[in-house]
Structure 1
Amino acid sequence: MFLAAIFCLLWSVSSAERHPNACCVDREFECVMGEIGGSIVTEHGIPTQKLHKGFNILHYDYYVRKMAILFHTRQDDGTMKVTHILYDFTKNKTYISGSGSCNVTAIPPGTTFREPCIPDDAKFLGSTYMGYGASHLPLYNWEIKKASHPNITKRMAVTQGGCTPVLEATYGYADHNGAKFDVVYVFNNYHPRIRRRDVFDIPHICNPGMQSDIPEQANRVVRTITNLFQ
């Protein structure tokens, strides 16, 4: 029901509405991204449903070309697994650490650290609002598709004033394994600057002698954040 309500919000269209110009999020910000969604993957030849729920603490700085995420995912036993992900485009490295191990990988050639903007070719879906009366929050809805990821569709709701992200729904088929997925992010505690610069420090555990495979949950958030801001 929650996902259905989000899609209804992001589908709002008025054919007579004036098309606004594409906008840009603050080039330096931090926020909490609440996450809920699911996917259907094939395990041992059987389609299996996977529920995704958790939250991400995101720090993004276009000026220093770095992005840090603390990825929290709720496990089946109710505990929370935390993975630290650091993009450092000054070194062209991605550092993913958690549970006593770290994986250091090169950022693929040709990948750029782009400004966090709605693309010029994004489709305007119309305006809507959240809340009521004097407390309502006016929003613009956009649909974004990339030629490099034709099986993935993203819809975003940003404030009409300031272009602050509020909602994002991403759905389609994952490029790496063809799994069908549907994930919604709700942006909370948005702040237009970085309050602690040490969030961009390389974790001490990340050295050449302590590398491991990237957890699938971390792989998923890496792909999502990559599609969102690169």
Structure 2
Amino acid sequence: MVKEVFVLLATVAAALGADPTPCCVHHQFTADLLEVGGKINPILAVPEPITIQSRLYYDYDAKKQRVDRVVENDDGTTNNVTIYVDYTEQVARSIVGGKCVVTSLKQATMQEPCVPATSKFVGTRVLGPATNGVSINSFTADLTKVLNVTMKVSVTSDDCTPVSVSSYGVMEGAFQEITYFFTNLVYSLPHQVFHIPAICHGVHAPLVGRDLPLSPALKRYLNLQ
């Protein structure tokens, strides 16, 4: 009996001392995103900063997400862009400038609401006051063989709420580094948030958007150039 107790205590101690493992958050949520970073223009070989404010609506079970973004043009003006992404239909519908641009996802898969299973634990830090802050676990994942990127994910240690996601590597032919900061996250979605506006009815992918009256920055953003 004493031997079994020692074995049990040793097992518990090992479990308590083990590194946190990759975890998952809720399958539906709404969050504000701040996207900051930059990329090297593959044609001009010059750096281009990235700073975008977004609102993300995410439903992994329905395989849908919507992103409301403000995109800055080359002249400093801005455009509001709403993108409806349907991974089942494999299309993205972008509402911009009174037009609906529909593009193919090219067999893309939706990002799971999880820290990648192959991630390695980096460490735990406290966000805010050391005596009254939020405990954050960070992980890194080498996704270069599949996505040509390396990812770092930071989540709360108690319930896996995303805090930030950083990635760097070659994306769409350009070297990029970008970090997404999650704020105001709630585990709910507005009613009919994925309802496709009438302007997109009857528009099918792949739509060639090169002739649409959009700025060069928007065409680059929507991959129409």
Give the TM-score of the pair, scaled to structure 1. 0.76
Superposed counterparts of 1:201-212, under 5 Å: 201-208=195-202, 211=207, 212=209
**Number of residues paired by the alignment?**
196
After superposition, the C-alpha distances for 1:48-106 in whole angstroms (9 at most, x for unaligned) are: 11111121100011222211111222345544322111112343332122112222234
Map 1:86-125 to 2 at 5 A: 86-109=84-107, 111-113=108-110, 115-125=112-122
Task: Give the match for residue 220 of structure 2.
Answer: 216
- Structure-2 separation of matches of 1:184 and 1:106: 25
Matched, 1:139 2:136: yes
SS in 1 for 2:192: helix
* Residue 182 to residue 89, structure 1, CA distance change in 2 (3 Å): closer
Q: Let me know the Cα RMSD of the aligned residues.
A: 2.3
SS of 1:193 mapped into structure 2: coil
Indicate yes or no: 2:196 matched with 1:198. Answer: no
Amino acid at match of 1:23: C
Unaligned segments of structure 1, at least 5 residues:
1-16, 220-230
CA 1:163–1:83 in structure 2 vs 1: closer, same or farther (change >3 Å)? same
Native 8 Å contact 1:30 1:60 kept in 2: yes
Q: TM-score, with normalisation over the residues of structure 2?
A: 0.77
Question: CA shift at 1:131, angstroms?
Answer: 0.7
Identity %: 28
**CA–CA separation in structure 2 for the residues paired with 1:81 and 1:56:** 12
CA contact (8 A) 1:127 1:141 kept: yes
Q: Between the two structures, name the one with larger relative contact order (CA 8 Å, sep ≥ 6).
A: 1
Quote how far apart the aligned CAs of 1:30 are.
0.5
CA distance in 1 between partners of 2:106 and 2:46 (Å): 31
Residues in 1 aligned to 2:51 and 2:114: alpha-carbon distance in whole angstroms: 26
Residue 185 (str. 1) matches residue 189 (str. 2):
no
Equivalent residue, structure 1, for 2:146: 148
**C-alpha separation between the residues in 2 aligned to 1:118 and 1:166?**
12
- Segments of 5+ residues of structure 2 without an aligned counterpart are 1-16, 211-217
Whole-Å Cα distance in 2 between the matches of residues 75 and 135 of structure 1? 42
Q: Which residue of 1 aligns with 2:66?
A: 68
Q: What SS does the aligned partner of 1:133 have?
A: coil
- Distance, in Å, in 1 between the alignment partners of 2:110 and 2:97 is 28
Moved more, 80-89 or 54-63: 80-89
